[in-house]
Amino acid sequence: MDNNQTENEWAKRFSPLDLLTNTKSSLNICAPMVRYSKLPFRELVKQYGVDVLYTPMILADVFKNSAISREVDFQTSINDSPVIVQFGAANSKDLADASELVAKYCSGVDINCGCPQKWAISEGIGCHLMERPDLVADMISQTKRRTSILNFQSNSGTGFPCSVKIRKHNDLRRTVDFAQKAEAAGADWITVHGRTRRQRSHEPCDFDAIKLIKESVSIPVFANGDVFNLSDKEEILKKTGCDGVMAARGLLENPALFAGYEKTPVECVKKFVELSLGLGSHHFIFHHHLMYMLEKSMSRAEKKHFNTISSIAGCIDYLTDHYGLEFF
């Protein structure tokens, strides 16, 4: 954990629920994305209308046992707030142990109950947990109890937040039961991806299912799926009655979507490069972010050439030559 903040700076962190209580009618949220929602990208989207940031999923058992994982998997800064650390955990102790380690440096933790990948399910995390609502309830309650001694400053009075991110079941009664048990255990909010574990991203998101879950609990619910512009956001809020939306692919393609841009503005690309150089980034991640951002600006031939660039320096040279960008 690269967390070079003073105790006073940490104490200024706040719960996302404070935003709903005090200033916002709905929240714009950057989803947890494997490899992609790391610190440089989080700081970028924060400048373009994102209210709440999520880390990529971190394996709780590895994180608590490995100094290397704690050094590499979670980095933050004073600008990275409110940030939610998402954990993949298969039992209550691993989650509570890992949550204690990050609690001073974030605004909450989230349990990944939605990853549909086979490896995750075989490890007892992600969508596997959708079949074990009682276990998830225990994970929430133990984590809330273990972190309750922390002096987390929240105007909403909830203490250190713990949330869950879920998908829907084919039988929506099971999803409602899951959500209600999570709420009873102390979950502070629920994010619902409106697809089942077997549905692909090109299949329609079920906003009626999200609406049903929203109506079944009294805590905030956020809708995840198919947010690519502000019109999508407003339509989803209208359909579901949710307290905000979470975007993944939409923000990868256009980190400025919540600021009303239809495609990634050039100045956003420049900011991303400078944040990545300043905070550190691996070439693979850096390159792929730029590929997503420039997708709508490049011809097929330009994409083919850009995709062959094998270094950060090469990417910067390309942006200078083709977009006239100058850095620092």
Binding residues for FMN: 32-34, 86, 193, 248-249
Whether 115 is catalytic: yes
What DSSP character marks residue 58? E
Looking at 30, 113, 115, 315, which residue is catalytic? Answer: 115
Q: Compute the distance between CA of residue 184 and CA of residue 193 in angstroms, rounded to an integer.
A: 21
> ∠74-76-81 over CA atoms, to 5°?
120
Please report the sign of the dihedral spanned by the C-alpha atoms of residue 52, residue 32, residue 154, residue 137.
positive
Q: Which residues, listed in sequence order, are joined to residue 161 by a DSSP beta bridge?
A: none
Q: Which CA distances in Å does 114 have to 58, 108, 127, 299?
A: 14, 18, 5, 35
Residue 23 contacts residue 60 (beta carbons within 8 Å): no
- Look up residue 323 and give its amino acid: Y
Binding residue ranges: 32-34, 86, 193, 248-249
Q: Which CA distances in Å does 310 have to 118, 140, 158?
A: 30, 43, 47
Per residue, the 3-state secondary structure of 189-230, as one string, reads CEEEECCCCCCCCCCCCCHHHHHHHHHHCCCCEEEECCCCCH
Q: Which CA distances in Å does 11 have to 3, 5, 15, 212?
A: 13, 10, 11, 36
Catalytic residue set: 115
